Structure 1
Amino acid sequence: MSEPKVTPIVLVTGPSGAGRTTAINVLEDLGYEAIDNLPLRLLPGLVSAADGAGPMALGLDSRNRDFSPAALLEVIDMLEAREGCDLSVLYLDARPEVLLRRYSETRRRHPLSPGETPELGVQRELSLMGSIRDRASLLLETSDMNVHQLKAEIEHLFVPTGRNLALSIQSFSYKRGVPRSVDMVFDCRFLNNPYWDPSLRGQDGRDGSVQAHVQADPRYEGFFARVLDITQFLLPAYREEGKSHLSIAFGCTGGQHRSVTLAETLAKALAERGQQVSIRHRELQS
């Protein structure tokens, strides 16, 4: 008996002006069936009809007629729980001043403030989309990207099956909960905590002195070696399964030091081995 087919689905969202339309177009060029701004109530039927079909890219944001954060979170929950569905939530983000500049350049009205200033629209939308951003499995900060750079980044993450698998590594704080839509989670709270060193408290795990402090823990080397080993062992298996990306998360108490250190060092080690890697530090980017 043959195994049921898995349908890759990329849900593309984020604030207006962050590059969602560009991302949808790139995914369509990569072979995804692209559907933009479909009413949320129609999504369950669409996904049911597409079972076993090719990959799909669904564009959803605040411009959808029946949009609400709660409704979109319900859609994400439904897709994550659905058998035969491999969901990626791609959130495109940009700094408020960049979103405002992009609207000023195009002279478009913001969908959330058609009769008011674009500033109000940008503020409202970023506030509205916060809970969706937290659920993203992949986050792209596009503030410093042009269209060509964004296109290259999307292609990097969502290569067609048979090419290299993209890997997303993130850090997080257990105080804010474990991220959803990750494949593997590692707890770093047993390692030396730089927070208790006043000279390191204000730094984060991207800083060399913080990394040295964490790596000085005698348990670090064995832990990191095992994580690297199991990641390298699993990458081919995920690729053979037809997945387009693998997501790994490291957690610690505050999401500032130990988890960031592990995410940075694992990403560097895998990149040196030729693996495609993107990094997200949830608490540093919030």
Structure 2
Amino acid sequence: MDFLLITGMSGAGKSLALNYFEDRGYFCVDNLPPALISKFAELCLQSDLDKIALVSDIRGREFFTELFEELAKIEDMNLNYNILFLEASDDVLIRRYKESRRRHPLDEEGRILDAIERERKMLEELRGRATKIIDTGELKSSELQEELNQLFLGEEDKNLLHLSLISFGFKYGIPRDADLVMDVRFLPNPYYVESLREQTGNDQEVQNYVLKWPLTDKFYSKFFDLIDFLLPEYKKEGKSHLSIAIGCTGGKHRSVTTVNKLAEFLKDKDFNINIEHRDIEK
């Protein structure tokens, strides 16, 4: 069994890493309290699951002190496990928290730096036991995925073309690392339907609206056919990673729907696919 514990600094990209493993067939659990890890491992051993990834970190608060005891119990089960530790510099973590406007789990008085320093000290021993450590400070999401590919994929998988499918809103700028960019602002816009405005392209009602138009059907046929032609050619030229960015005005409806449908179209082909809806929450 492949049992992976993902941990590290808050804001360092653990959720992105978990999404990566979920896309690759792992059974994934986020924010599992450390006190439950050994029980969870027992259930996994009794199942037919062969690839497990879980995130456990200081969000577990008082339970976090039990982590090493739980890891010892796993070792007693003769269950091999790996620890992936994600980190970034203080400046990067502060910037990410300010951009997201989220509160650090240890921030009780509005002092982000103090919370980061306390967390770093709490995780010091765990970092020392980590199997693999990644500093995500200078990594874009596609670069983090490539780093994970190098660390966790077998040689056969490393030879696959890795695709990043990114939805975005033009009002927030084009992704700088995109290899191909497609503008879908010409498609009928669900934003102007009041009942759909607050939904996204992950919701079936929005997808139904975007897909019901003959224009959409004709465009998808031509666009997907073009992508189907291009990808093998990029692979022949030795490209290992390709980023395809699809944009609409706000990045919530048409672009999200199109990325999801393109992923469905490509899912049974010989590619590793990562989906990112960059602006869906804006």
Query: TM-score by structure 2 length?
Result: 0.52
Please say if residues 100 and 118 of structure 1, whose CA atoms lie closer than 8 Å, have aligned partners that are also in contact: no
Aligned to 1:263: 259
Offset, 1:283: 0.6
Distance 1:118 1:162 in 2: 35
Residue in 2 that maps onto 1:87: none
Distance 1:183 1:255, change over 3 A: same
1-structure distance, mates of 2:168, 2:214 = 23
Partner in structure 1 of residue 73 of structure 2:
none
**Alignment partner, residue 160 of structure 2:** 164
Match of 1:118? 116
Q: Residue 136 of structure 1 corresponds to which residue in structure 2?
A: 140
Instruction: Please name the residue that 2:245 is paired with.
Output: 249
The question of whether the paired residues in 1 share the 8 Å contact of 2:187 and 2:216 is answered with yes
After superposition, where does 1:125-274 map in structure 2 within 5 Å? 136=140, 138=142, 155=152, 163-274=159-270
Contact 2:164 2:273 in 1 (8 A): yes
Larger radius of gyration: 2
Q: 1:196 to 1:277 in 2, by over 3 A?
A: same
Provide Cα deviations, 1:207-261, integer angstroms capped at 9, x if missing partner: 1110110111221112111221111111112112222111111111111100000
Q: Following the alignment from structure 1 to structure 2, what is the Cα–Cα distance between the partners of residues 268 and 154?
A: 26
**Distance verdict in 2 for CA 1:161–1:238, change over 3 Å:** farther
The AA in structure 2 aligned to 1:117 is A
Contact 1:187 1:250 in 2 (8 A): yes
The whole-number CA distance in structure 2 between the counterparts of 1:152 and 1:267 is 19
Identity %: 37
Shift of 1:185: 0.7
86, 89, 92: which one aligns with 1:62: 89
Q: Any idea what SS the aligned residue of 2:165 has? A: strand
Change (3 A) 1:119 1:100: farther
**1:175 and 1:254 in contact (8 A); partners too:** yes
In structure 2, the CA distance between the partners of 1:152 and 1:184, relative to structure 1 (3 Å rule), is closer
Partner of 1:42: none
Q: Work out whether residues 172 and 179 of structure 1, in 8 Å CA contact, stay in contact via their aligned partners in 2.
A: yes
Cα deviation for residue 271 of structure 1 reads 0.5
Per-residue CA deviation, residues 45-100 of structure 1 (Å, 9 max, x unaligned), is: xxxxxxxxxxxxxx994369xx899xxxxxxxxxxxxxxxxxxxxxxxx9967x74
Instruction: Write the distance in 2 (CA, Å) between the matches of 1:201 and 1:164.
Output: 38
Change (3 A) 1:155 1:196: same
- After superposition, the C-alpha distances for 1:153-195 in whole angstroms (9 at most, x for unaligned) are 9645x96797211111011011011111111111111111111
Task: Report the residue type matching 2:170 in the other structure.
Answer: Y
TM-score by length of 1: 0.51
Tell me which amino acid in the other structure corresponds to 2:243.
S
Equivalent position SS for 2:226 = helix
Q: 2:200 touches 2:206 (CA, 8 Å); kept in 1?
A: yes
Give 3-state SS (helix, strand or coil) of 1:284's partner. coil
Distance 1:269 1:236 in 2: 15
Distance change (3 Å), C-alpha of 1:172 and 1:201 = same
Partners of 1:139 and 1:263 in 2: how far apart? 19
The number of aligned residues is: 181
User: Displacement, 1:278?
Assistant: 0.8
Aligned equivalents of 2:144, 2:252: Cα separation in 1: 20
The runs of 4+ residues in structure 1 deviating greater than 6 Å are: 94-97, 119-122, 158-162
Q: Secondary structure at the match of 1:117?
A: helix
Instruction: Work out the CA distance in 2 between the residues paired with 1:151 and 1:95.
Output: 27
